[in-house]
Every structure is written in structure tokens, then in C-alpha cells.
Amino acid sequence: MAQIQARGLSFSYEENPDPVFENASFNIDTDWKLGLIGRNGKGKTTLLKLLMGKYEYRGSITSGTRFDYFPYPLTDTDAAKTGAELSELWKNHVQLWQVLIQLDQLKTDPECLYRPFFTLSFGEQTKVMLAVLFASENEFLLIDEPTNHLDESARNTVKEYLSAKKGFILVSHDRDLLDHVCDHMLVLNRETIEVQSGNFSSWQDNKEKQDTFHRSENEKHLKEMAKLKHAADKTGRWAKKSEGTKIGFDPAKDHDRSISARAYIGGKTKKLQARVKSYEARIMREMEEKEGLLKDIEKVTDLQLRPLSYHKEVLVDASDLSLKYPDAKKPLFENLRFQIKGGDRVCLAGENGCGKSSILKAILKQAAHPGTNPDEELLISGRLMAGSGVIISYVNQNAGDLSGSLKDFVRRGGYDESLFLAVLRQLDLTREQFSKRLEDYSEGQKKKVLIAASLITPAHLYIWDEPLNYIDVFSRMQLEKLILNYKPTLLFVEHDVRFREKIATEVVRIDGAAGRPRQADIW
């Protein structure tokens, strides 16, 4: 067991003078299973890189341990190598048998180590990297979002694997994973960093109680300041009036007043002025205490949605549906049946590669949506009907190709710029981000751009393909509240179990092993 201590940690990027961290301090234990959460762009990955010594910073970080980082860097040349070759490249002090032990714990075929890395699925690539990461001892491991793009089965395997380990920081927005795995939370608040014992749910419960208390205290401070300002204003008027009577008087009108009264009036005025200064000092103290109360409260703004009503009950109807790509030997699945009616929120679930995204693309194609790739051939058998004139708002799984400025994005999409920027602000993008190029956005910020565009697009049907990849926990809860409030007709693919449980009115599960025909059933 060892301690990692940060004292007065300050860091900012050269291209952005605004500090990512400013005079931050915290202690963590190398035996902990530590969950790291914070808004997109708050510096979670940056903090891991600082621990790794990748950037120069002010302040100090002291530790008596080595660090290692997931995911490992992977070039195009590296991707052609086998997992065994990459294991030696990433961590040359471990033996292959140590990696094989970890793969067995991850319930993964060791054959994965002897295939070119690029031929492995997302889940297999993640498990090979994790096996290498945990193959040696006496290291504190920094794990950055290991479950993005993983299906439910792979997520569960990774979840069970990590819950049996210790000595790591886990960056994740998956609440189910954080609850199952972590025994401490490291939270990047709006202005401070806090460390708390427990998992995400216990932290959230404490956070809500703390925020409620601080809001209540803030109201009390506001009322007290209002009283003090009123008293100070009233006493100040008395002092001014008293001071005005100190010099000069009319003997006919003020026959009972002598010139010696001037000293008395001066003393009275001085007392009144001292009382005003006392009120002002108390107001300043109240303001200082009030400022500390609300600085870390998550101000989650309610989003708005503009769903359209469709003139028929059924928007999408699939019967005996089969999808196949021209170069594939077998269809992705067969005999799929489901309907999407107005107000339904249907989630497609199943292993990676089973055809979930292909179903979305097929519906977009049938509806002649502009998001369809005209060069992508998809053979459709059976019945797939998208209602005539149905308007679809689509969020693509991939946001990596976003480029240019926000103005360029708005112009290409024909969006209302002021409304679009307002929604981005509600999703916690700062105005400073608006002047940056999209290539410089974090993955979570890019995804928020796509979601904002979808939210301001009036539609009969919203189709979202893994909308929450890289999206922070707070924004996920914000989107849940939005959908439950407005009840749009929604077809989505999402591996976040908590999101699916709260949002979906129906789950269509597509089962079967990769490369074999799949039967589909409805929960």
C-alpha cells in the first residue's frame, strides 16, 4: 500500500490559457479501486497523463509506484502485428504466460494473441489490452473508458474482471460499471477535486444531500444579505441627514439649540456611520460564505425536444426481415419482427456485429434519409416499411469525422445557429469551445454536437446509434430526463444498462454468434 499525493497541482494547455487544474490537492491510496468522473472536457484524461508524467505542470505529484495506461497507443503498423508481438512492445518486462493467465480470467480464447490485432473485435482488442495491463504487479493502473463500443456481454466480462482487481483509476461514464467495480470515487467538480469512499451511487446520494443543504444555506444567506442591505441603507440615510444638520441653524426656528449641539450631532453621526460599516462588513462575510456554497453544484439545465406527431399509428414495420451485405456468406440475422408505434422507445440489443446499426441504416435507407450512405449496399429481404413522409432525426455512432468550425457545421446542416449554440451551452459546452475547431474537441464534446443537432431537429422518429459513447454521467442523466419528459418516438442502440432500463419501453434482442444466422426475439 502506498499513497499518491498531489499538492497545488496547476496545469493549462499552451493553446488555451484557461487552467484545467488550478492549485488542486488530493490524496489517493494505491490499493483503491478508484472511479474518476467529471463533465466532458474537465480534464479526466489530462489528469491521467499528468500522473504518467506526460506534461509539465506546477505543484507536485508524489508517489512510490509505477504507472501504466489503458488504452495502449496503436499505429497502423502496430495493428498488423499480433497480440503477442504487441504485448512485448507495450510491456516488455512481462512474460506471455502472465498475459495468458489474465486472458483466461477475461474468458477469452488465447488464440486472440496470435491473430493480427486489426482482425479482432472491439471486445477482443479491449480484453487483450487489459490482459497485458494487469499482467505485471506493483503498478498503479490508469484505465481510460474501457467499455466504449463494447456490447453488453463484453461489458459484463470486463465488469466482473475489474471487480476482482485493485490498484487502479477507472475513467468511465457507465454508472453500472462504476457501482459494481469501485470502492472510492475521485470527482472533478466544477471548481474542486474531491475524494470519497464508496461507489458512484453512494457518491451521488451524498452529492444530492450536500447540494440540497448548500442551496438551503444559500437561500438563508440571500435573505440575511437582503436584511443587512436594507438596514445599512436606512442607517446610511439617517447618518446623511444627521450630518446635514451639524452646520448652520436658524435661531428663530431652532431656538432650543445652541452651538454646542454640533459636537453631539457629530458623535451621533459617527456612530451611525460605524454601524453602516459594520453592516457592510457583515454583508461581505455573508457573500464570501455564499460564494463557496454553490461553486460545485451541478446546474443541470432542462433540455427541450420538438417531436412531431405522425398521422398513422405505425411508423416502422419489420416482418420476416433479413439483412445481408453483398460480400457476406450469410445474413446478419433472419426472421426479425418488430414495430415502432408513436410514443414507443425501442432499444436494439445484442452482441457487436449482430446487425443493430445495420437495421438503423436500412430504416434510414427506406425513409430516404440524407444520412444514408449511397455507396453502402445492404440487401434487404422480407418486409421493412418506413412510413410515407416520416421525418427522422439521426445521431450517428461515429463522431470522429467532424471537422471545421461550428459555423461550418451549422451551415451544412441548415440549423438555427442561436438555438444550436443554446443547446450546446445547456449540455455544458463553454462559450470558449465555440471558437475552437471540431477536430480539437474531445470525443464526448463531438458527440454532444451531434446530439444537439438532433434535439433541435423536429422529427416524427429519433434514431440514435450509441448516443452515449464518451458522454459524461451528468449529461446522460440530463438526456434521460429529457426523453421521459417529452416521450418522443425513439429507436436506439445503447449499451448503457441504466439508460436502457430507464428509457426503453421495449427491447428487441438480436441473438446469435458472429457470422451465423440470428433469430430475434422481443423482451
Q: How far apart are CA 460 and CA 457, in angstroms?
A: 10
The alpha carbon torsion through 445, 451, 453, 455 (nearest 10 deg) reads -140
Q: Residues 366-405: pLDDT tens digits?
A: 888 876 766 678 889 999 999 999 999 999 988 888 999 9
Q: How far apart are CA 32 and CA 141, in angstroms?
A: 11
Q: Where does residue 389 fall: left (phi above 0), alpha (psi -120 to 50 degrees), or beta otherwise?
A: left
- Reported for 105-111, long-range contacts at CB under 8 A and 24+ positions apart, including other chains, are 105/161, 105/164, 106/130, 106/131, 106/157, 106/158, 106/161, 107/157, 108/157
Per-residue pLDDT of the chain (523 residues; tens, 9 = 90+): 689 999 999 999 877 767 889 999 999 999 999 999 998 888 999 999 999 999 999 999 999 899 999 999 999 999 999 999 999 999 999 999 999 999 999 999 999 999 999 999 888 999 999 999 999 988 999 999 999 888 888 999 999 999 999 999 999 999 999 999 999 999 998 788 999 999 999 999 998 888 777 777 667 766 766 766 766 676 666 656 655 555 555 555 555 555 555 555 566 666 656 666 775 666 566 555 555 545 555 555 678 888 999 999 999 999 999 998 888 888 999 999 999 999 999 999 988 888 999 999 999 998 888 767 666 788 899 999 999 999 999 999 888 889 999 999 999 999 999 999 999 988 888 888 898 899 988 888 999 999 999 999 999 999 999 999 889 998 999 999 999 999 999 999 999 999 999 999 999 998 743 333 333 333 3
Cell reading at 266: 457629530
CATH number of 3-207: 3.40.50.300
The total of other beta-carbon atoms located within 10 Å of residue 430's CB is 10
Q: How far apart are CA 426 and CA 302, in angstroms?
A: 8
CB 402 within 8 A of CB 449: yes
Domain 314-522 = CATH 3.40.50.300:
yes
Q: Which residue has the cell 469501485?
A: 182
CB 187 within 8 A of CB 196: yes
Render 86-137 in DSSP notation, one character per residue: HHHHH-TTS-HHHHHHHHHHTT--GGGGGSBGGGS-HHHHHHHHHHHHTSSS
The length of the chain in residues reads 523
pTM listed for this prediction: 0.76
